[in-house]
Amino acid sequence: MTDPHRDAAETGPDATAVRFDAVGMRYGRGPEVLSDITFQLPSGSFHFLTGPSGAGKSSLLRLIYLSERPSRGLISLFGRDSAMLPRAGLPALRKRIGVVFQDFRLLDHLTVFDNVALPLRVAGQSRSSYADDVADLLAWVGLGDRVDAYPPTLSGGEHQRAAIARAVISKPDLLIADEPTGNVDPAMARRLLRLFVELNRLGTTVLLATHDLALVRSLDAPVLELADGKLVSGGARAA
């Protein structure tokens, strides 16, 4: 299997998928939950994001997805300064990002198949063009017999696998995942990791937030480590 830590010497406006420069973030008037965060994710790279509960991992992922804004510092995505991005441009940028949320965010009135296919349907693709791909992906994540089930009937692990399938089905330019293997057994966690690695091999930049150190050790990929809202290892100031 291809090593996901790729050579970063790319050219063009998207050579860096994500760049943080001295970023701070607070909720309301509270203390900063992230302070002086500086790092970059070269396009096509694979990184883990680790740290104890409360370290700020989920907040950092929300900043990348632009569901939260920094209180200071620079965030750029695909070569664009997020502070200069007009509100009307936000949906198009988010279409380039696949996200696995901890709370899954499946739609209860849609089947598992239709939840996973939703990004393709929103993009205007016909069901006939994606039906086989969705079915194959659901089989890969162990949900081949649950395509017609509705989210309220799924277990926690099934919810998680459906959410992962939805995030990767459109082969996004960037995938960010918050504890994507937290509710599955070790064998399925390794299988899902192979899915992420294959997606990365095809060109997607991947950032996985996880507490699972065994998962991290199973792959030779760079690690960004947060502690108390600060990046304690893996950060590098962008040139």
Q: Give the Cβ contact number of residue 233 at 10 Å.
A: 12
DSSP β-ladder status, 80-81 and 223-227: unpaired
Question: 47: which 2 tokens?
Answer: 């990184």
pLDDT tens, the chain, 239 aa long: 344 443 333 334 468 999 999 999 999 888 999 999 999 999 999 999 999 988 999 999 999 999 999 999 999 999 999 988 888 888 889 899 999 988 888 999 999 999 999 999 998 999 999 999 999 999 999 999 999 999 999 999 999 999 999 999 999 999 999 999 888 888 999 999 999 999 999 999 999 999 888 889 999 999 999 999 999 987 543 33
Give the CATH number of domain 44-66+91-223. 3.40.50.300
Residue ranges per structural domain of the chain:
44-66+91-223
